[in-house]
A and B are shown apart, each in its own frame.
Chain A
């Protein structure tokens, strides 16, 4: 990340409205680590800010410029600031930043919050600390080199004098802001907060019911709305009769909203406004609607699979072509081929989508559980006709995000309704709405071919993929351009081969797709780490030894999909996590009869993860007993948070491996609630152990990297136990027979 702070004193040194002078520190950084949404691409500078507010009563408030969805940003990011400020962690309170994209880089995704904030927050914290030290030196009239920050204040050792930051804040606020590029950063050997476990800062609020999620937003005079959306993607209401709905007690009005295309991708629909959520839901049941099902009404999971198979019968678009894979494969006696299939997957956040908006003539107020508050602000501004700075978006806690809440469809709907009524309104999604109108992890189909030669070297690797593609939906420049992104690390595998070919064919679908936890890595990790196991089996080699050998010498492999900005894959770090996971999981030691061990290692979001799973087949179903992880995500800012994220990614992955699929029938999602799309339950929990490398490298992602290794580790364990290769997710009992 480039660091060229654009410092504006007016913006960064402000007087607090309450409690007198406050020291407010911030910085602008051009370029966003995560500019995924089409709308964001118009604004290349999505600056990141960090604020520290100290009031004379010695209250220290660290301001969070990212969203908290369970991933722990609300704890980890303030830890970075607190470290450079020499704060007592007990002294810290955290406040969500107001939505102001000129100051904050709000977008929370791509496992990038800690990685992207690490240096900027250190610099901001250090700049604040230097100003406070200067203030103390001025007040004492001593050389500032004789003063040091300590425990939430500044100490003059020789004079045995100590001033709290609260006592220094007013003086410090009048000082010039130091150049962020030259502020002295703390030596990491002195860290007392970073690298040390801290409990979740909002843990008590979440254990008492006091934590406020988006769905808990309440404002005087608000109405509750639910929307009847066409169940078929791309369809709309042809006509409706609201007479019966309006007779439901508590229903106030019924209106309709139009679908909105790129930038929001809403279905539109018929909106029932009511005194409370229940009345709105009952009113919706009483609507009589004739749907115009649109162009996608014939799509099904079967038709999509046929489309994949047709695509696979033809050469794909070349993504990468090193050497001559076809020639190497064609002449090989021990060629291995396998087809892998993955379905659509829903985010299924526990808090269904919702958004509360009040548009007044002079301004708007919104409470949004969003990973992209700046996008929410933009949309409400556009719908209301207000300038963005008049749209006050409160980013709430989120009951899960996983990429779903980077979308703005639920915001667009609420803005449309609020604009139409002029009253505060919460648009609430039911579970069924949430399950059937998600932006799903793309369905994909992969054909892998490879061969290991007589010397045990990987002579060729060929990967054909057809998928429904996120880029095809979001990239306005055309569907075919960014196909490499559908492969992610699968386009720069760590296994050395002179003949490496990657081909892609777009599959057309009316089903909305977007970023699901770990995005393309969820399919690439499964496919690559399953196929390498198949090659190991064909070569009669231990899967761990086989991987370590094919990875070969220590080297750095450029990120093929993002050569300019992506960090290269460091094979030494990958090997280290594979070896660590294997050691911790007693790789090679005997297991009870019927239990198998499988391993997978993967590079994603610039982090390295490996997992060893132990699994067996009982009564025609897979039982996962244990998953042992090793992760290297650079310096772990909050090691306890890293462990929690990996545990979480494991279960999120387990859901898509072991439980249900989203299937399409007659252009719509066949599943509706947790009865037909169930989640892993406590009784299905494997034991999960996470070993974190205490690296000194800069921090990299951890919200998502735990996910891609789970499916292949489990499937490889089932192969070890039963001799059956599992190539379709989720695992079906028919594939075990």
Chain B
């Protein structure tokens, strides 16, 4: 058992008394009560648990907490306080979610994609997002929402 310190959504976070091999997913959900990040498969196959570690989209279900020490973790709760992140806004505008369970992971993946490619093509989106499963089949709307978010972000950049 160990104590591990990392930055969580901009604030320093120390987790005491934790098995070093415990995945970040379960630290977030069961120790820190941050349940926005979801458990889907436990094998990095579905993307429901996607968070950012130092800005990179990462499957938290296979990321041992010991490897997170000293790093910056962003979860769905850290994107914005009130759903005003452009990707979240685009998700709401395109009415993307159905059951909604996979959407935290979808949004975290989409944000990571847009940070690498400000104006992704359909093919870019398909490539980057195919690690995230949606059983309700909202893919068509996710694609539209990513394009919309890209447009919103570029509009913001121009006006700034």
Q: Do the two chains belong together in a single complex? A: yes
B134 — which chain A residues lie within 8 A by C-beta? 350, 651
Name A179-238 residues within 8 Å CB distance of B.
Answer: 199-200, 202-213, 215-216, 218, 224
B-contact 0/1 string along A42-74, CB 8 Å cutoff: 000000000000000000000000000111100
Partner of B136, one of A281, A282, A648: A648
Task: Indicate if B6 sits at the interface (CB-CB under 8 A).
Answer: no
A681 — which chain B residues lie within 8 A by C-beta? 130-131, 133, 139
Task: Indicate if B159 sits at the interface (CB-CB under 8 A).
Answer: no
Q: Residue of B at shortest CB range from A200?
A: B95
B29 — which chain A residues lie within 8 A by C-beta? 216, 277
Partner of A350, one of B22, B36, B82, B99: B99
Task: Indicate if A351 sits at the interface (CB-CB under 8 A).
Answer: yes
Partner of A682, one of B39, B103, B129: B129
A224 — which chain B residues lie within 8 A by C-beta? 30
B76 — which chain A residues lie within 8 A by C-beta? 208-209
Q: Which of the listed residues B107, B139, B142 has the most CB atoms from chain A within 10 Å of its own CB? A: B139
Q: Assess the A203–B95 pair: CB atoms within 8 A.
A: yes
Task: Indicate if B100 sits at the interface (CB-CB under 8 A).
Answer: yes
Name B95-114 residues within 8 Å CB distance of A.
Answer: 95-104, 107
Q: Residue of A at shortest CB range from B132?
A: A682
Task: Indicate if B120 sits at the interface (CB-CB under 8 A).
Answer: no
B23 — which chain A residues lie within 8 A by C-beta? 278
Partner of B137, one of A69, A205, A430, A680: A680
B1 — which chain A residues lie within 8 A by C-beta? 249
Alpha-carbon distance A731/B20, docked complex (angstroms): 44
Partner of A675, one of B35, B43, B82, B139: B43
CB distance from B147 to the nearest CB of A (A): 13
From known contacts A71-B98, A430-B42, A674-B45, infer whether A277 and B30 are also in contact, taking CB-CB under 8 Å. yes
Partner of A648, one of B82, B88, B137: B137
Grouping DSSP codes into helix (H, G, I), strand (E, B) and loop, the B interface class, with mixed when no group exceeds half, is loop
Q: Assess the B30–A673 pair: CB atoms within 8 A.
A: no
Q: Assess the A431–B26 pair: CB atoms within 8 A.
A: no
Task: Indicate if A132 sits at the interface (CB-CB under 8 A).
Answer: no
CB distance from B129 to the nearest CB of A (A): 5
Q: Assess the B136–A206 pair: CB atoms within 8 A.
A: no
Alpha-carbon distance A208/B91, docked complex (angstroms): 10
From known contacts A199-B95, A675-B45, infer whether A210 and B135 are also in contact, taking CB-CB under 8 Å. no
A212 — which chain B residues lie within 8 A by C-beta? 35
Q: Assess the A431–B83 pair: CB atoms within 8 A.
A: no
Q: Assess the A431–B139 pair: CB atoms within 8 A.
A: no
Number of interface residues of B (CB under 8 A): 60
B80 — which chain A residues lie within 8 A by C-beta? 208
Alpha-carbon distance A431/B49, docked complex (angstroms): 13
Alpha-carbon distance A430/B43, docked complex (angstroms): 11
A69 — which chain B residues lie within 8 A by C-beta? 99
From known contacts A278-B22, A278-B23, A399-B38, infer whether A682 and B95 are also in contact, taking CB-CB under 8 Å. no
A652 — which chain B residues lie within 8 A by C-beta? 135-137
Q: Residue of B at shortest CB range from A276?
A: B30
Partner of A278, one of B19, B35, B48, B99: B19
Q: Assess the B97–A206 pair: CB atoms within 8 A.
A: yes
B141 — which chain A residues lie within 8 A by C-beta? 644, 647
CB distance from A198 to the nearest CB of B (A): 9
Task: Indicate if B126 sits at the interface (CB-CB under 8 A).
Answer: yes
Q: Residue of B at shortest CB range from A706?
A: B137
Q: Assess the A683–B133 pair: CB atoms within 8 A.
A: no
B131 — which chain A residues lie within 8 A by C-beta? 681
B48 — which chain A residues lie within 8 A by C-beta? 350
Task: Indicate if B31 sits at the interface (CB-CB under 8 A).
Answer: yes
Task: Indicate if B40 sits at the interface (CB-CB under 8 A).
Answer: yes
CB distance from A544 to the nearest CB of B (A): 26
Alpha-carbon distance A682/B35, docked complex (angstroms): 25
CB distance from B44 to the nearest CB of A (A): 10
Q: Assess the A70–B92 pair: CB atoms within 8 A.
A: no
Q: Assess the B133–A351 pair: CB atoms within 8 A.
A: no
Task: Indicate if A536 sits at the interface (CB-CB under 8 A).
Answer: no
From known contacts A249-B1, A673-B43, infer whether A207 and B96 are also in contact, taking CB-CB under 8 Å. yes
Q: For the side of the interface on A, what is the size category?
A: 35 or more
Alpha-carbon distance A683/B124, docked complex (angstroms): 10
Partner of B100, one of A211, A250, A649, A687: A211
Name B12-40 residues within 8 Å CB distance of A.
Answer: 19, 22-23, 26, 29-31, 33, 35-40
Q: Residue of A at shortest CB range from B125?
A: A682
Q: Assess the A644–B98 pair: CB atoms within 8 A.
A: yes
Name A393-410 residues within 8 Å CB distance of B.
Answer: 397-402
Partner of B135, one of A218, A348, A430: A348
Alpha-carbon distance A68/B125, docked complex (angstroms): 29
Task: Indicate if A548 sits at the interface (CB-CB under 8 A).
Answer: no
Alpha-carbon distance A202/B83, docked complex (angstroms): 12
CB distance from B98 to the nearest CB of A (A): 4
Task: Indicate if A92 sits at the interface (CB-CB under 8 A).
Answer: no
A648 — which chain B residues lie within 8 A by C-beta? 98, 136-138
Q: Assess the B100–A397 pair: CB atoms within 8 A.
A: yes
Alpha-carbon distance A349/B101, docked complex (angstroms): 9
Task: Indicate if B143 sits at the interface (CB-CB under 8 A).
Answer: yes
Task: Indicate if B56 sits at the interface (CB-CB under 8 A).
Answer: no
Name A374-403 residues within 8 Å CB distance of B.
Answer: 397-402
Q: Assess the B125–A351 pair: CB atoms within 8 A.
A: no
Task: Indicate if B68 sits at the interface (CB-CB under 8 A).
Answer: no
Q: Residue of B at shortest CB range from A348?
A: B135
Q: Assess the A673–B45 pair: CB atoms within 8 A.
A: yes
Partner of B83, one of A204, A216, A683: A204
Q: Which of the listed residues A209, A281, A431 has the most CB atoms from chain B within 10 Å of its own CB? A: A209
B83 — which chain A residues lie within 8 A by C-beta? 204, 207-208
Task: Indicate if A640 sits at the interface (CB-CB under 8 A).
Answer: yes
Task: Indicate if A502 sits at the interface (CB-CB under 8 A).
Answer: no
Q: Assess the B100–A647 pair: CB atoms within 8 A.
A: no
A209 — which chain B residues lie within 8 A by C-beta? 35-37, 75-77, 104
Alpha-carbon distance A400/B33, docked complex (angstroms): 22
Partner of B103, one of A206, A215, A281, A654: A206
Task: Indicate if B150 sits at the interface (CB-CB under 8 A).
Answer: no
Alpha-carbon distance A188/B22, docked complex (angstroms): 57
Task: Indicate if B41 sits at the interface (CB-CB under 8 A).
Answer: yes
Q: Residue of B at shortest CB range from A70?
A: B99
Task: Indicate if A617 sits at the interface (CB-CB under 8 A).
Answer: no
Alpha-carbon distance A213/B40, docked complex (angstroms): 13
Q: Assess the A431–B101 pair: CB atoms within 8 A.
A: no
Alpha-carbon distance A205/B40, docked complex (angstroms): 19
Known: A674-B133, A685-B126. 12 other contacts (CB 8 A): A209-B37, A211-B100, A279-B19, A282-B19, A350-B38, A352-B40, A400-B135, A651-B137, A655-B135, A681-B130, A681-B139, A682-B143
A-B contact pairs, 18 of them (CB 8 A): A70-B97, A72-B98, A203-B91, A203-B92, A208-B80, A209-B37, A209-B77, A278-B19, A350-B133, A400-B135, A640-B95, A647-B140, A648-B98, A652-B137, A655-B135, A674-B41, A675-B43, A685-B139
- A-B pairs with the 3 shortest C-beta distances? A209-B36, A651-B137, A399-B101
Residues of B within 8 A of A (CB): 1, 19, 22-23, 26, 29-31, 33, 35-43, 45-46, 48, 75-77, 79-80, 82-83, 88, 91-92, 95-104, 107, 125-127, 129-143
